[in-house]
Structure 1
Amino acid sequence: MPEAAIVTTGPASPGAVHFDSIRVREARDVLNRFYHPVSLGTPECAEAMVGAEVIQLGPLTVGHLTFAGRVTLVAPAVDAYHLTLPTAGRVLARRNGREVTAGPATAVAFRPGDPVYLRPQTPSAEIDVRIERWALESELAALLGHPVEGPIDLPVAFDLTGGPAHSWSRLIRLLHDELEHETSLIYQPQIAEHLCSSVLSGLLLSVPHRYHDELVTPAAAGPPRAIRRVLDTINAEPDRPFTVADLAREARMSVRSLQEGFRRHVGCTPMAYLQEVRLTRAHETLRHADPATVTVAAVAHRWGFAHLGRFASAYRARFGASPSETLRRRA
């Protein structure tokens, strides 16, 4: 693909591209790079143009594709989970002999091993999501606290107009909306990891599959000894970029059991407790720091806060003063 057709965006430039309008051959090269080996066909003598914004966040790929002209996307078998969310127009999808015509109210899903057939109407636009198989199945195993047998039986299509699936689609659209902003937090590895986990767990909680009933059934609370182990881990290293799955592994229990154990024995979620410890450590650091050599930003980043505005807001709510006011009192 000609280099001039790609404009990389943000610090994660190897995993993000943007192009406004290119021909089918070049578009196929980009889709092969970010999604799956696909053939991109057009009727004989027809012209078609494709535009896209794509970002990779570890095992998660989110792209917004636009089509002008008749195009058909075919893959003999995908090696990951693939979801298509039309944002304008409609798309005809086929999975294992079943055809679905989807619009902005419907998402279409393909599982590892499924052949993919997508024929967008023109003009049309869609958000395409690729999730690596190991990532989604590991996320499900962590939530349940036991191994799972994949692939997960995602439905061919599911409704996006209400309930958890509607909320999940808004999260996907948020990622798309952030693509054009070079300073977006989605390019920060710590934030990207949390967003990726939220997308994966949100999908698993939003659509029917054979593990869904078990997933939404209230979990037994974790024993106090395991909860204490997590509390000790957080207090020992609150600056580490913990995820709730990391803490569940420390407790040797499922994410749901950890959350229920914290609710019952601590009175808050694991991540809320982690933030409280970080705020306290940041407060102590600012109280004893020299404002001539230390900045609020440096203290925030030291204790795991990637977004200064949110740090300042949480700090003021907790201590009744801004971080800079606390630092100046040392002068």
Structure 2
Amino acid sequence: MSDTAPTVSTGPLSTGAVHFDSVGVREARDVLNRFYHPVSLGAPESAEVVVGAEVIQLGPLTVGHLTFAGRVTLVAPEADAYHLTLPTAGRVLARRNGREVTAGPATAVAFRPGDPVYLRPETPSAEIDVRIERWALENELAALLGHPVEGPVDLPAAFDLTCGPAHSWSRLIRLLHDELEHESSLIYQPLIAEHLCSSVLSGLLLSVPHRYRDELVAPATAGPPRAIRRVLDIINQEPDRPFTVADLARVARMSVRSLQEGFRRHVGCTPMAYLQETRLTRAHETLRRADPAAVTVAAVAHRWGFAHLGRFASAYRARFGAAPSETLRRTG
């Protein structure tokens, strides 16, 4: 076995990524301590252990794919964040507060802040490990509900990934994992990363049982027209700002769900759809007035909050019946 030192890259939005293959216990422990919890990674002295990992950190969300060849045990006295393990090959034995769970690709296991962490993967095995900062998940829940919550959120020790919203959530996690190897991936763009983080957090809260879930899935009351008007005004004033739906809900002083229902009732679309329409209109106006010798389509797209040029061009053509470059050329 030859050890390979991990290579680390960084990106926007407090991101970090690491990729390595075929390292020993000590090197793997260093990476796990950096991206997850202070953890003890144990192995029998006579055993040869090979660990591989791909890990990405997007603000409060960490997603990593770990592979194990050789018997290892991961132990942390106390989780300092929410931690979820989704086996992708083989099985893992987990223990939470005295309860033992054996999980395979059909099951996820979860630990809450303050829980002792015990994981013993089979060999060989592979798993996706997700870390969510406590403040982020609880703030996401409070934004969805429109009132403070008392944490930690009581995530179940294990939950089924084969059907329903949990199956959809697991596909979203696997999408993040699949993007790890692409340095030019959209997940490194701040706007996209923020929305993906929010989708992972809200998706988890909608996928598993906990004491707030009934309230979370109950029909929402539509926000009043005056509050919706406040949101419309700030979007029209600053459409280039990297708003999330939670940001807009705070402007309206209501829950995300009430904001969305209010927009459906009073505006006829979602808040984010209205934001994109406003950005497209501003981009169209800018391209019509711009000097094609001095301005590029990419610069205009980024000016109005579009992180991905291809998607901007597609949405622009669907809205205005022409490519952005065609509008720009007509100004010459």
Tell me whether the two structures share a fold, i.e. TM-score over 0.5: yes
Query: Matches of 1:31 and 1:324 in 2, distance apart?
Result: 46
Distance 1:325 1:134 in 2: 46
How many Å separate the matches in 1 of 2:238 and 2:13?
27
Contact 1:10–1:183 (Cα < 8 Å) also in 2:
no
Shift of residue 188, structure 1, vs aligned partner: 1.2
Contact persistence 2:8–2:16 (CA under 8 A): no
Alpha-carbon shift at residue 205 of structure 1 (Å): 0.5
- The CA deviation at 1:83 is 0.1
Please list, as runs of the form range in 1=range in 2, the aligned pairs for 1:24-35 lying within 5 A after superposition.
24-35=25-36
Q: Shift of residue 29 of structure 1?
A: 1.0
Displacement of 1:15 after TM fit? 1.3
State the SS of the aligned residue for 2:182: coil
Q: What is the CA–CA distance in structure 2 between the aligned matches of 1:152 and 1:242, rounded to whole Å?
A: 26
CA separation in 1, counterparts of 2:194 and 2:296? 26
Query: 2:67, 2:13 → 1: CA distance?
Result: 23
The answer on whether the counterparts of 1:69 and 1:123 sit within 8 Å (CA) in structure 2 is yes
Deviation at 1:138, TM superposition (A): 0.5
The CA deviation at 1:247 is: 0.3
Q: Distance in 2 between matches of 1:13 and 1:239?
A: 21
| 1:70-219 to 2 correspondences below 5 Å | 70-219=71-220
- In structure 2, distance between residues paired with 1:34 and 1:308: 31
Q: Residue deviations 1:41-93, cap 9 Å, x none? A: 11231111111011110111110000000000011111100000001111011
Query: Do the aligned residues in 1 keep the contact of 2:6 with 2:18 (CA within 8 Å)?
Result: no
Task: Spell out structure 1 runs of 4+ moving beyond 4 A.
Answer: 9-14
Q: Quick one: distance in 2 between partners of 1:244 and 1:153?
A: 24
Q: 1:308 to 1:200 in 2, by over 3 A?
A: same
Cα deviation, residue 8, structure 1: 3.1
1:204: Cα distance to partner?
Answer: 0.3
SS at match of 1:15: strand
Normalising to structure 2: TM-score of the pair? 0.97
> Deviations 1:224-251 (Å, cap 9, x if unpaired)?
0000000000000000000000000000
| CA 178–243 in structure 1, closer or farther in 2 if over 3 Å, else same | same
C-alpha separation between the residues in 2 aligned to 1:46 and 1:300? 55
TM-superposed deviation, 1:13: 9.0
Tell me how large the CA RMSD over aligned residues is. Answer: 1.2
- The answer to whether the Cα contact below 8 Å between 1:7 and 1:19 also exists between their aligned partners in 2 is no
Q: Deviations over 1:258-288 (max 9, x none)?
A: 0000000000000000000000000111111
Q: After superposition, what is the alpha-carbon deviation per residue over 1:104-148, rounded to whole angstroms, capped at 9, x for unaligned? A: 111000000100110000110000000000110000000000000
Preserved CA contact (<8 Å) 1:251 1:258: yes
CA distance in 2 between partners of 1:326 and 1:111 (Å): 52
Distance 1:119 1:282 in 2: 53
Q: Deviations over 1:135-187 (max 9, x none)?
A: 10000000000000001000000011111111111111111111110111111
CA distance in 2, matches of 1:215, 1:242: 22
- Measured in 1, the distance between the counterparts of 2:300 and 2:8 equals 34
Aligned residues: 328
Distance 2:272 2:24 in 1: 46
Specify every segment of 5 or more residues in structure 1 that has no aligned partner in the other structure, as ranges: none
Question: Could you tell me the percent identity over the aligned residues?
Answer: 90
Please give the alpha-carbon distance, in whole angstroms, between the structure 1 residues aligned to 2:168 and 2:296: 37
| C-alpha distance 260-113 of structure 1, shift in aligned 2 (>3 A) | same
Alignment partners' CA distance in 2, 1:14 and 1:287 = 36
Contact kept in structure 1, 2:65 and 2:128, CA below 8 Å: yes
